[in-house]
Chains A and B, each alone.
Chain A
C-alpha cells in the first residue's frame, strides 16, 4: 500500500513570497490533515478535512494560509505572504475516518529567509 505522498520535500523562499505544498493521501482515506512542526516541537494541527469539507481550521492563520481538497483526494496548502516564523516542516496525514490511525507523509521542510 502506497503511503502519503508530499511534494516538494524542501523549499526555500524569501519572506513575503508565496509557496504551495501538495499532498496525496492514502487511497480511500476520507480524512486529511495538515500539521505544522516547528523545530523542537510537536506537530500542530492546522486544518482537517473530511472528504472535501473543512471540519477544523481553528489554528490556521487564515490571513496568510489557505488549503483546499478538491474532489476529496489531493490537497494543497498555500502560504501567502510567508513570514520568517513560518519556517517549519509541514506534514500531511490521512486516516480512513476521524479517530482512526493517522498515517503521515515525509513532510515538506520550508525555510523562509
Chain B
C-alpha cells in the first residue's frame, strides 16, 4: 500500500514533442504528490508538486494531471527539449505521522534533437 507505481521505465521523445509519465498509488492517505528530476551524478530536485484538491497544476512547460478517483497522476512535459533529458521520479506522502516520502521507480527520459 506504500508503493507508487511508475511507467514507462524509459521514454524517447523528439524535440518539441510531449513527454508523458504516469504514476499510480493505492494508499488513500497520500495527499502530496511531487515530481523530482534527477540528472546523472546529482541528487533529485523538486520539479513540481500537487495536492488532491486540484486536478491540474501547470508551471511553465510542466503540468501535473491528477485523478483522485482513479488514484493516478501524471507529468506532462510540453515542447520537450534535449535539456529535459533526465530521470523523473514521482513520489507521494501522507498527512499523518511524519509524512514519509515514497518514490516511484523512475523514468529515464531522452529527448532527441
Chain A interface (Cβ within 8 Å of chain B)? 4, 31, 33, 40-45, 48, 50, 55-56, 91, 93, 98-99, 101-107
Contact = CB atoms under 8 A, between A and B. Distances in A.
Contact of B105 (A33, A41, A45): A41
Given A43-B89, A91-B43, A91-B44, A56 B98 contact: yes
B67 interface: no
Given A40-B106, A41-B106, A42-B105, A4 B43 contact: yes
B41 interface: yes
A4 B106 CA distance: 22
Contacts of B6: 42
A106 B41 CA distance: 7
B93 interface: yes
Contact of A45 (B41, B95, B97, B101): B101
Interface size class, chain B: 20 to 34
8 contacts: A4-B43, A31-B98, A42-B89, A42-B105, A102-B46, A104-B43, A106-B41, A106-B42
A95 B41 CA distance: 21
Given A43-B89, A106-B41, A55 B46 contact: no
B64 to A, nearest CB: 15
B71 interface: no
B103 A43 contact: yes
Given A45-B102, A48-B100, 20 more contacts: A4-B43, A31-B98, A33-B101, A42-B6, A42-B89, A42-B106, A43-B44, A43-B103, A48-B98, A55-B98, A56-B100, A91-B43, A91-B44, A98-B99, A101-B34, A104-B45, A105-B43, A106-B43, A107-B42, A107-B43
A106 to B, nearest CB: 5
